[in-house]
């Protein structure tokens, strides 16, 4: 049974992964707040990724770090994003290196390419076009992961996660949604995939209207999403289906329309 260090364990995705993985893995939950419903294979370590010593201690003995900690939306850079998404991310990769953890699965975001027009299907080779400073912090994280893979020998998989909820809530989500079941499938594949050096893959369900190519996730990780946001299309479409991409304009949606936040 592998030992997984899961950061951000009380977050929306962290909770989903706990329940999906805890029967098959030993989970070390690294979290700032208390968690009261620990299962038999779960251990809680209280801490923050901005504390390098705390995360390094939690990483010792782990086989994989699944890093789901961080600020996951637009926020003031100096006060929120810089300590958590920049320093905290660096601390996670460095802790894995120092503790000898061979693999890091990192929660990136589709907003690293959010400023692209919505009328094209992008693959992982598309140059960065972040939709906000939040997206910029995830560009930093992916580049950091690449360096730690190339120079420190870590196996790194960056998941460009879409909109994670039980169901899509608005028209754009028909393209970017990832269901809880598919999220668990994706992370399980990232934990178990053999022969990984550095990979970036899109974390979405098998959406009919998706903006991103899932070929790499299928080829390298063996990820086969089972859900499709199209089941909600009749309810969520705001106009003719043929005009879907034109109405959305950019893949990052409203984050591209917000006033610039330094």
Mode of pairing for the β-strands spanning 103-109 and 155-161: parallel
Q: How many CA atoms lie within 13 A of 121 on its CB side?
A: 9
First to last CA, the chain: 44
Q: How many CA atoms lie within 13 A of 111 on its CB side?
A: 22
Which of the residues are catalytic?
A: 134
CA distance 216 to 219: 5
Comparing CA positions, the residue from 137, 150, 142, 151 lying closest to residue 87 is: 137
Comparing CA positions, the residue from 140, 4, 146, 142 lying closest to residue 66 is: 4
CB atoms under 10 Å from CB of 10, counted, come to 15
The DSSP secondary-structure symbol of 23 reads T
């Amino acid at each position: 049974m592998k030992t997984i260090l899961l950061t951000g364990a009380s977050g929306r995705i962290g909770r989903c992964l706990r329940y999906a993985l805890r029967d098959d893995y030993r989970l070390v939950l690294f979290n700032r707040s208390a968690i009261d419903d620990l299962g038999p294979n779960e251990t809680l370590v209280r801490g923050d990724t901005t504390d390098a010593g705390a995360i390094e201690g939690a990483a010792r003995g782990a086989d994989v770090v699944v890093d789901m900690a961080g600020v996951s939306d637009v926020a003031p850079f100096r006060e929120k994003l810089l300590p958590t998404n920049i320093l905290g991310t660096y601390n996670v990769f460095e802790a894995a290196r120092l503790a000898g953890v061979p693999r890091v699965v990192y929660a990136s975001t589709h907003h690293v390419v959010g400023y692209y027009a919505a009328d094209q299907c992008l693959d992982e080779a598309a140059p960065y076009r972040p939709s906000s400073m939040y997206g910029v912090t995830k560009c930093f994280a992916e580049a950091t992961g690449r360096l730690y893979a190339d120079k420190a020998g870590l196996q790194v998989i960056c998941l460009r996660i879409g909109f994670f909820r039980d169901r899509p809530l608005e028209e754009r989500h028909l393209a970017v949604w990832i269901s809880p079941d598919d999220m668990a499938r994706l992370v399980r594949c990232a934990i178990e995939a053999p022969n990984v050096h550095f990979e970036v893959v899109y974390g979405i369900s098998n959406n009919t209207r998706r903006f991103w190519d899932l070929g790499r996730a299928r080829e390298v990780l063996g990820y086969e999403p089972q859900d499709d946001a199209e089941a909600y299309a009749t309810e969520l479409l705001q106009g003719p289906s043929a005009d879907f991409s034109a109405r959305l304009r950019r893949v990052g949606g409203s984050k591209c329309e917000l006033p610039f936040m330094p």
